[in-house]
């Protein structure tokens, strides 16, 4: 799916992979079985639930990650149960959700 350009923002292409399909951008690389990948003009960012990898790795060898400001998740299932029991907020709640297409 391609989101059209708007205002000063260019169009954005979204591709969904599921099952055993592997994006050609990570062919031959060892990546987690689930996550999201952003492909840019200068590299790629693959992010799982609690980790990330930058490609090509040699280009980003000196990259220093910013200080973590959002607490690590205890897992979305555990967060959901905790929220049901005590009303605490989750790190991935529905307050800021929207349709992908």
> What does the pLDDT look like over 69-89, one tens digit per residue?
888 888 889 999 999 999 998
User: Which residues touch 70 (CB under 8 Å, ≥6 apart)?
Assistant: 91
Same structural domain, 10 and 24: yes
Same structural domain, 24 and 35: yes
Q: Domain of residue 14: give its range.
A: 1-64
Same structural domain, 3 and 43: yes
Number of domains observed in the structure of the chain: 2
Whether the predicted pLDDT of 4 surpasses 90: yes
Same structural domain, 72 and 32: no
Over residues 24-70, the pLDDT tens digits come to: 766 677 777 778 888 888 988 888 777 888 988 899 999 998 998 88
Same structural domain, 58 and 83: no
Q: How confident is the model at residue 101 (pLDDT cuts 50, 70, 90)?
A: low
Q: Counting Cβ atoms within 10 Å, is residue 46 exposed (0-12), middle (13-18) or buried (19+)? A: buried
Cα–Cα distance, 59 to 101 (Å, whole number) = 33
């Amino acid at each position: 799916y391609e989101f059209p350009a708007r205002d000063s923002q260019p169009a954005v292409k979204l591709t969904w992979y599921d099952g055993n399909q592997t994006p050609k951008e990570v062919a031959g690389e060892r990546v987690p079985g689930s996550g999201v990948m952003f492909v840019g003009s200068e590299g790629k960012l693959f992010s799982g639930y609690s980790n990330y990898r930058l490609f090509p790795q040699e280009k980003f060898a000196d990259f220093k990650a910013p200080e973590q400001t959002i607490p690590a998740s205890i897992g979305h299932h555990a967060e959901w149960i905790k929220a049901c029991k005590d009303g605490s907020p989750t790190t991935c709640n529905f307050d800021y959700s929207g349709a992908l297409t």
